[in-house]
Structure 1
Amino acid sequence: MKLSAELKALENRLGHRFGDPALLVRAVTHSSMSSPTRSDNQRLEFLGDRVLGLVMAEALLSADKAATEGQLAPRFNALVRKETCAEVAREIDLGAGLKLGRSEMLSGGRRKQALLGDAMEAVIAAVYVDGGFEAAKELILRLWGDRVTRVEADARDAKTSLQEWAQARGLQPPKYETVSRSGPDHAPVFTISATLENGESDQATAGSKRLAEQAAAKVLLDRLTS
């Protein structure tokens, strides 16, 4: 299979020459473009998430040999979460190579955090299947760069931080509710509210419930601590 100009450029940015270029094509194919003859990237995403997790766990243990499990866990979460994957994807302009359906493309899918994060994990899996674990490890460590060594020791996701903020003030954990859901089934958009026992509340919108909950927690926490 011959890669398109966009995917050839992406392959160069990845720094991995695919023996089976079809793997890269599948890794960048969103479900909105899938068909009986064209596979999407969901299965690769599943695999890539696990490969990324193993590489990050090894890297963190190597970077800080004295850290406890309690110290390592939040650093690990910060490095493998979708937001970080999407950030890395933007740095290599992965969005330019995504294969999207018309509606997803018109709605700005190449810039959506959820799509970019999923595609980044799928690309990791494609490299793993094509070149083995060492090739995937080299790719991850190169693209993640100094994130491994500069990730904060007390890194917490927004939901955990908001819960700790509430508990420190004698409040129950925040509640998350779906305010609205829109968009097609293959690309839903969720608006989620985060509400504390004292009535403080904020909401945010994202391409998955998990990301919307994180975003809502961050908006609320930022306002409460500013």
Structure 2
Amino acid sequence: MSAVALAQAIGHRFADPSLLKTALTHRSFGSPNNERLEFLGDGLLNCVVAAALYRRFPAMPEGDLSRQRANLVRQDALHGLALKLKVGEYLRLGEGELKSGGAQRPSILADALEALFGAIYLDAGFEAVDAVINRLYQPLFEALTPGEVKKDAKTCLQEWLQGRKKALPKYHLLEATGAAHEQRFEVACEIENPPLRTIGHGTSRRIAEQVAADNALKVLKA
């Protein structure tokens, strides 16, 4: 499919189409690929989202702003936006990634969207990428409620332990099974004091760690 349709969906017309092409090229396909653009886009996304939150919530303290930003720029949020834009249909992937379902893998889609942000910046400057990110993120911004910052389980567990002057938990990957596009991960969360070991499962290592941390919290609070 022509990547021009994707550019139209994003709301940016590329003066240099090669930047769009590179942003959609995974390293498995060859070089140049989108890894450097993803690095650039990641920094731009953090900056734009931070500025948007700063303007939208003038009374929100720094800690809450940081947590809101972390929730908005994490892989899950990017993956959701990439799915709506159908980014996977325009990716250039190597044969192995194509066969293993790489076009639907959350990490690849999230990285590609960040690479697109980097490409837009190089193509038309900061104002252009600022406008695109704010437009794409508008529904997510509108869904935010001041004073209701949802902390993830790992953060809550860390704060619970720190508040009692105890050592932080350690996470260990126990097993990863299944094909690349439908993997299942098993992770252990281990705490020294009190001695505790809980297990979490999920479709990514991050999710499995969160589940293991949540299980540990339930035991500790019980």
Work out whether the TM-score is over 0.5: yes
Residues 188 and 212 of structure 2 are in contact (CA less than 8 Å); yes or no, is this contact kept in structure 1?
A: no
Counterpart in the other structure of 2:28: 32
2:136, 2:153 → 1: CA distance? 24
Distance 1:24 1:155, change over 3 A: same
Letter in 2 for 1:128: Y
Counterpart in the other structure of 1:199: 196
1:182, 1:20 → 2: CA distance? 41
SS at match of 2:2: helix
What does the per-residue CA deviation read over 1:103-159, in whole Å, with 9 as the maximum and x for residues that have no partner?
111111111111111111101111111111111011101111232243354233442
Letter in 2 for 1:41: N
Runs of 5+ consecutive residues of structure 2 not aligned to the other structure: none
Larger displacement relative to structure 2 (128-137 or 148-157): 148-157
Counterpart in the other structure of 2:15: 19
Counterpart pick for 1:173 among 135, 148, 168:
168
1:49, 1:205 → 2: CA distance? 25
Residues 189 and 213 of structure 2 are in contact (CA less than 8 Å); yes or no, is this contact kept in structure 1?
A: no
Counterpart in the other structure of 1:145: 138
Runs of 5+ consecutive residues of structure 1 not aligned to the other structure: none
1:103, 1:85 → 2: CA distance? 24
1:119, 1:164 → 2: CA distance? 33
Determine whether 1:10 maps to 2:10: no
Determine whether 1:163 maps to 2:168: no
Residues 166 and 196 of structure 1 are in contact (CA less than 8 Å); yes or no, is this contact kept in structure 2?
A: no
Identity, % of aligned pairs? 37
Residues 77 and 157 of structure 1 are in contact (CA less than 8 Å); yes or no, is this contact kept in structure 2?
A: no
2:123, 2:131 → 1: CA distance? 13
Counterpart in the other structure of 1:49: 42
What does the per-residue CA deviation read over 1:154-198, in whole Å, with 9 as the maximum and x for residues that have no partner?
233442123234556776422112335789xxxx99764333344
SS at match of 1:13: helix
1:43, 1:182 → 2: CA distance? 30
Q: Cα offset for 1:63?
A: 0.3
Letter in 2 for 1:216: A
Q: Cα offset for 1:66?
A: 1.3
1:169, 1:202 → 2: CA distance? 23
SS at match of 1:17: coil
Determine whether 1:220 maps to 2:212: yes
Counterpart in the other structure of 1:117: 110
1:162, 1:108 → 2: CA distance? 34
1:29, 1:174 → 2: CA distance? 38
2:32, 2:186 → 1: CA distance? 29
Letter in 1 for 2:54: L
Letter in 2 for 1:24: L
2:207, 2:161 → 1: CA distance? 17
2:189, 2:2 → 1: CA distance? 40
Distance 1:64 1:14, change over 3 A: same
Q: Cα offset for 1:205?
A: 5.9
Residues 201 and 212 of structure 2 are in contact (CA less than 8 Å); yes or no, is this contact kept in structure 1?
A: no
